[in-house]
A and B are shown apart, each in its own frame.
Chain A
Amino acid sequence: MPLPKRESLMRTRILASLMLLAFALPLGMPAAPAAQGAPIKIGFLAPLTGPFAQIGKDMVNGTELFLDEIKREVGGRKIELIVEDTEGQPATALNKSRKLVEQDKVHVLTGGLLANVGYALQPFIDGAQIPATYPVIAADDITQRKPAKWIVRTGWATSQPMHPFADWALKTTKYRKVVTIGMDYAFGYETVGGFQRVFEEGGGQIVQKIWTPLNTNDFAPFLSQIRRDADAVLALFVGRLALQFVKQYQEAGLQGKLPLLGGGTTTDESVLPQMGDEALGIVTALHYSQAIDTPANQKFARAFEAKAGKISSYYSEATYTNMRWITDAIKAVGGKVEDRPALLAALRKVDIKDTARGPLSVDAYGNPVQTIYIRKVERVGGRLQNTVIATYPGVSQFWKSKPEDYLKQPLYAREYPPCKYCQ
């Protein structure tokens, strides 16, 4: 039935005005003045919705904790933190970065969790010439083969802890034949690759490499493949998968028979409280452990637990120290954050002796030189922790190679280094 003409006209008008409103809305957004004395704006990206929301929350909490400690002020200027949700998606992260840089006019852009977000933002950050830091994103090439001019990594490179870890395994254990099992994506390749390279250079053998799809629920088919004549198993899992893998490793009767080594996230404190005795004895390597016994870390760990109601993980430490790093750089330029090249230079010069995770400095490619901790899961005072059993101070992302030599080898990938000893 046709509508009466007047009514349909009205609807058209309503709709047209709604659309005008939608397009006019961005016009009304205030553009902030960038004068001295105005607050310093820091844009922070984290996945606050979607499967990584819990980690995103840890990241925000770590950041807020440090800002609260310095009363949100540095160099006589207030700090304003603008948090944006990336949904863990590169396209959304790009949109939000544009918003932070072009509309909010932030002085520093920081945050991000996943490697693909890191790679997606890199051209934008270099194009916009905005000083940026990556506290968590660890994809090797961001500070290696495709170094970004405007990004300083305050976190780590994926393979960085794995080189000393292999060295440790060669020197202190009798493991010579190791099976690797890891998540089938870049983070897995770079973790396993880093271990394999140093392990095989030192005379060890990787005798089998197993990759599991990211949506695996049942690890039984993979666990039954593991060669029982190996000396140890190196596992790399994150989040839910770490919980499931470690549990099923025990259920398959492998715990105690084949010692379990792992990339740091396999027993990270973001999953450790949900694990039980099945995790005991797993040895992993990372640039942080909640159990590091230094005053700086104990202070941070206590303060974080009081604020967030859960124990600190490497994600929260990363963003906490990241904010300290940024504010140190701001102090170094006397609060003049409008001078972007100067701020970037200051970010690249940061040298802090007493962070929660130990001394930090930056290499020429923008990645921290830092202490790597070899950690073993133990039960202390009724709860599981990553007890530090060995430390490697001053570890560079290039391990003991010269950067030029290191960068000649390809990026660690599914098929690189090739598995020479696999049958």
Chain B
Amino acid sequence: MRDRRGIIIGIVAIVVAAAVAPVLSAYPLTLLTQVAIVAVLAMSLDVLLGYTGLPSLGHAAYFGVAAYAVGILATDYQRGFLVCLLVGLVLATLTAAMFGLLAIRATGTYFLMITLALGMVVWGLAFRWVSMTKGDNGIAGVPRPDLGLPWNLGAPLPFFYFVLAAALLAWALLGLLVRSPFGLTLMGIRESESRMRALGYNVWLHKYLAFIISGAFAGFAGVFWAYYNGFVSPVDVQLVTSVETLLMVALGGPGTLAGPALGAALIVFLKNFVSVYTKRWLLILGAVYIGVILFAPRGVLGAFRRKP
């Protein structure tokens, strides 16, 4: 089984994280929480980039749409978690469905450019639709969800377990997806679109569905992101967020699911720990990127895998 190693590493990482969480102080714990959320975003992009071969530069859009939905519903309308989750997911999915219609026709650089432009549309909305989004001031004071459980999700530890469970669920669902006949077809399209078409597959539909599913999972991550920060602003939907997600996938290893999650962990920890010791942390981050491209072009996890 090709992907067993990724699964084992992923499970080990999750078990270790869950085990050490209670003894961690609040700050590293919040970073772990962030890793779990961003990992879902990176894995959602992996469905497109790694499995279908479509590099999207607008992934922050779906992430941000869901985050904004939560931000607005939880503050202005004081809705509970389930309503926010549902609306966030639906809106992210609809956005992806709409953008997919426009973007899927293109390939390669053109696909990059169109997704980038569509992502900027959402950024523009977040920035300019002030009555709805509060513009660049952002929406502050999103309360942590209250599920009526005996644990107070406002505290760092229960919230971490909550997010970890959600991330695990997303990973499992995405794992099932890429191993399903549908996922295998996506990989076929990645390898050779024309051959798949000749074999009678509806290539456009497969790519479109992958695009929507990917957007929906990005939205899933966005819901938790809004709760995690308690704050949503146009920064969450800007290009930098999309690019960083792309880098996480590339760093960890596209087409592995566990790889992008690892990439997300690496980037979050590098950003937050290296910057404590040196102002030149961007240089180190850059060196890591270059090192990975030179020595492990298929990503950190990809380097440990058999050649295809």
Q: Is the CB of A115 within 8 A of B136?
A: yes
CB-CB contacts below 8 Å: B18-74 with A: 20, 23-28, 30-32, 34
A84 to B275: give the CA distance in the assembly, Å.
8
Interface flags for B125-138 (1: CB within 8 Å of A; 0: not) read 00110100001111
B141 within 8 A of A: yes
Q: Is the CB of A94 within 8 A of B229?
A: yes
CB closest chain-B residue, reference A97: B27
Stretch at the interface among B9-17, B76-84, B204-212: B9-17
Q: Is the CB of B27 within 8 A of A98?
A: yes
Q: Is the CB of A120 within 8 A of B138?
A: yes
Shortest distance between the CB of A265 and any CB in chain B (Å): 16
CB-CB contacts below 8 Å: A35-69 with B: 48-49
CB-CB contacts below 8 Å: B105-137 with A: 127-128, 130, 135-137
**Given contact pairs A23-B17, A27-B24, A123 touches B231 in the complex (Cβ within 8 A):** yes
Q: Which residues of A contact B229 (CB under 8 A)?
A: 90-91, 94, 120
Q: Is the CB of B138 within 8 A of A27?
A: no
Interface flags for B235-279 (1: CB within 8 Å of A; 0: not) read 110000000000000000000000000100110010111011001
A1 to B308: give the CA distance in the assembly, Å.
8
Q: Is the CB of B136 within 8 A of A116?
A: yes
CB-CB contacts below 8 Å: A83-128 with B: 84-85, 89-92, 94-96, 98-99, 102-103, 115-116, 119-120, 122-124
A250 within 8 A of B: no
Choose among A85, A98, A119 the residue that contacts B138 (Cβ–Cβ < 8 A): A119
Shortest distance between the CB of A47 and any CB in chain B (Å): 12
**Given contact pairs A20-B16, A90-B231, A26 touches B136 in the complex (Cβ within 8 A):** no
Q: Is the CB of A26 within 8 A of B31?
A: yes
A98 to B271: give the CA distance in the assembly, Å.
14
Shortest distance between the CB of B297 and any CB in chain A (Å): 17
Q: Is the CB of B306 within 8 A of A2?
A: yes
A364 within 8 A of B: no
A15 within 8 A of B: yes
Interface flags for A113-149 (1: CB within 8 Å of B; 0: not) read 0011001101110000000000000010000001000
Shortest distance between the CB of B134 and any CB in chain A (Å): 8
Q: Is the CB of B130 within 8 A of A413?
A: yes
CB-CB contacts below 8 Å: A255-302 with B: none
**Given contact pairs A48-B279, A186-B135, A23 touches B34 in the complex (Cβ within 8 A):** no
A95 to B34: give the CA distance in the assembly, Å.
9
CB closest chain-B residue, reference A88: B235
Q: Is the CB of A116 within 8 A of B235?
A: yes
Interface flags for B220-242 (1: CB within 8 Å of A; 0: not) read 00000000011101111000000
Q: Is the CB of B34 within 8 A of A120?
A: no
Q: Which residues of B contact A1 (CB under 8 A)?
A: 306-307
A125 to B24: give the CA distance in the assembly, Å.
21
Interface of A is mostly: helix
Choose among A103, A123, A414 the residue that contacts B141 (Cβ–Cβ < 8 A): A123
A220 to B138: give the CA distance in the assembly, Å.
30
A389 within 8 A of B: no
Q: Is the CB of B231 within 8 A of A26?
A: no
CB closest chain-A residue, reference B301: A15
Q: Which residues of A contact B12 (CB under 8 A)?
A: 16, 19
B282 within 8 A of A: yes
Q: Which residues of B contact A3 (CB under 8 A)?
A: 306
A115 to B231: give the CA distance in the assembly, Å.
13
Among B24, B231, B269, B279, chain A packs the most CB atoms within 10 A around the CB of: B231
B304 within 8 A of A: yes
Chain B residues with a Cβ under 8 A of chain A: 5, 8-9, 12-13, 16-17, 20, 23-28, 30-32, 34, 127-128, 130, 135-138, 140-141, 229-231, 233-236, 262, 265-266, 269, 271-273, 275-276, 279, 281-282, 304, 306-307
Given contacts A12-B8, A122-B140, 7 further A-B contacts (CB under 8 A): A22-B265, A27-B20, A85-B281, A95-B34, A98-B27, A116-B235, A186-B135
23 contacts between A and B (CB under 8 A): A1-B307, A2-B306, A19-B12, A20-B16, A22-B266, A23-B20, A25-B273, A26-B27, A29-B25, A31-B25, A49-B279, A49-B282, A84-B275, A84-B276, A91-B236, A94-B231, A98-B27, A99-B272, A115-B137, A116-B136, A119-B233, A122-B141, A123-B231
